[in-house]
Amino acid sequence: SKAAGKLTTGLTGLAVNSTPHISLTALYDRTLKLLARMPADAKYRQSTEAIVKERLAAVNSEPDISRLEKRINCGQIEEVVQQAERELQLARNFLAWKPWEPLIGQAPPNQWKWPL
């Protein structure tokens, strides 16, 4: 669809994505597969999974790019693709970091107190 026929995003360094539905579907599918490898009670998994599933449903049900952009409400579709790429990388990092596991040692006193 050539992203509704637009020639430019108007954003420096961000080219028009000629196949945003294909890009987003692939990115969201890969992100969901990574999230499925995390514990079901992990807050990151729960929050991200909800957003990704909602956006994937929008991508699958809305063929018009401008309406899809309005429905997702996070900028131009190219920005949404960029956000999906970054979320996929973050999910990969979370799998490596495993923040849901217990601490290796005891946290220092006042570690979580703010303000001190």
pLDDT higher than 80, residue 2: no
Q: Is residue 90 in a domain?
A: yes
Neighbours of 73 (CB within 10 A): 8
**Domain-embedded: residue 3:** no
Count of domains observed in the chain: 1
In a domain, 30, yes or no: yes
- List the domain range (segments joined by +) for residue 46: 20-97
Q: Is the pLDDT reported for residue 101 higher than 70?
A: yes
Note if the pTM is more than 0.75: yes
Residue 50 included in any domain: yes
pLDDT score recorded for residue 4? 53
